[in-house]
Amino acid sequence: MKTPRISVLATALLLAACGNADTNAGTNAGDATNEAAAPAAAAGTPAKTTANTGAFTAWKDPPAAPAVPSPAFFSHEVATFDEPWAMAFLPDGRLLVTEKKGRLKLYDIAANRTSEIAGVPAVDYGGQGGLGDVALHPQFAENHRVYLSYAEAGEGDTRGAALARAKLDLDADGNGGRLSDLQVIWRQVPKVTGQGHYSHRILFDRDGKLWLASGERQKFTPAQDMRANLGKVLRLNDDGTAAADNPFADKGGVTAQIWSLGPRNILGMAFDAQGRLWEVEHGPRGGDELNRVERGSNYGWPVVSWGNHYDGRDIPDHDTRPEFNAPEAWWNPVIAPAGFIIYSGDLFPYFKGNGFIGGVGSNSLVRIQFDGDNAREVERYDMGARIREVEQGPDGAIWLLQDGDGARLLKLTPAG
């Protein structure tokens, strides 16, 4: 990982003077997230693998890991949802699933029963917007708090991501429930036009801090503007306030929320066993990235990228601007990442410590191997459909949500 050679704050404020472009021929109208879905693969069958087409940073082989069998897993269809975006397991093994149109579903795996949670905030549905991520508070067993991210309407034709927390009250019969005491604890600033690049991924760390990905909303330069929380990774307290020891806490306002800056559209975040945070994000035309998130670092969007604008205009490569933090791995052609875990279970001993990225454009599950700060793709499993979300279950199984209407919830189990 490169170390920034100039002040991140000085660079960001200088670049902010370039303005906050509202439209640009390089918007993501051609993003792989908007490609037509491929036919779904049959459930209960081993996944096929495809050749690695990514481009990666320098690599040193890590210590030998258990051999991965072939096939590595079987895929089983469990349920279906309409435009699901994220999921989170409750302590009792039931599953919360968000649907973009603004529905929060409760799925009882043992009973094969789906019900709905009432009290979800109104969402601005359209494009990439709607109900987004769901996460449980680290002390959920005591306080029953859940966190939801979503696209929220603003004045006129503007909108932005918001984060709410609420108490989850489940019905005694196990059939549904409701949210109570809902509070909006964070908002993207400023709200802007358009319906893309919200990001709004939520993650808690081992110390109870809340991490939030905030996309640059297809407006480019806000990612380098420290007066906006667009195009940033944010570190917050569980009530949405800025953590007191953040790198720019002394600046106050939304700047105090910022941990790092310069991502484009983060759609997956995960901590490794050492507590390091990694994120995956969409590039423009080419240049999807896997980054290790470091305190105060600037990842360079829209100044540098391994991709180019959709209209063909060049964007300088990362190696032309060493003051910006370059990705550990990148893809061209893109995989269109969505959903990301670093596996820590025992059900798949040969996957322990590996990352798994869902591919909405590549119709795949991408396996990542790590060696310290280095990372590379080592295998790509053809899932036959767009993969929107990846999650590890309580028993160590890997769970996937496909994208779109009638999307399947899949459980991956060892082939043996």
Give the residue numbers marked as catalytic.
197
- 3-state secondary structure string across the chain: CCCCCCCHHHHHHHHHCCCCCCCCCCCHHHCHHHCCCCCCCCCCCECEEECCCCEECCCCCCCCCCCCCCCCEEEEEEEEECCEEEEEECCCCCEEEEECCCEEEEEECCCCEEEEEECCCCCCCECCECEEEEEECCCHHHHCEEEEEEEEECCCCCEEEEEEEEEEEECCCCCCEEEEEEEEEEECCCCECCCCCCEEEEEECCCCCEEEEECCCCCCHHHHCCCCCCCEEEEECCCCCECCCCCCHHHCHHHHHEEEECCCCEEEEEECCCCCEEEEECCCECCEEEEEECCCCECCCCCCCCCECCCCCCCCCHHHCCCCCCCCEEECCCCCEEEEEECCCCCCHHHCCCEEEEECCCCEEEEEEEECCEEEEEEEEECCCCEEEEEECCCCCEEEEECCCCEEEEEEEECC
In the numeric block, the tokens 């050492």 are attached to 274
Cα angle value 151/112/350 (rounded, 5°): 80
Q: First and final CA of the chain: distance in angstroms?
A: 38
Please name the residues in contact with 396: beta carbons below 8 A apart, sequence gap of 6 or more. Answer: 345, 346, 347, 348
Contact 404, 57 (CB under 8 A): no
In the numeric block, the tokens 């895929």 are attached to 75
Contact 350, 69 (CB under 8 A): yes
β-strands 113-118, 177-187: how paired?
parallel
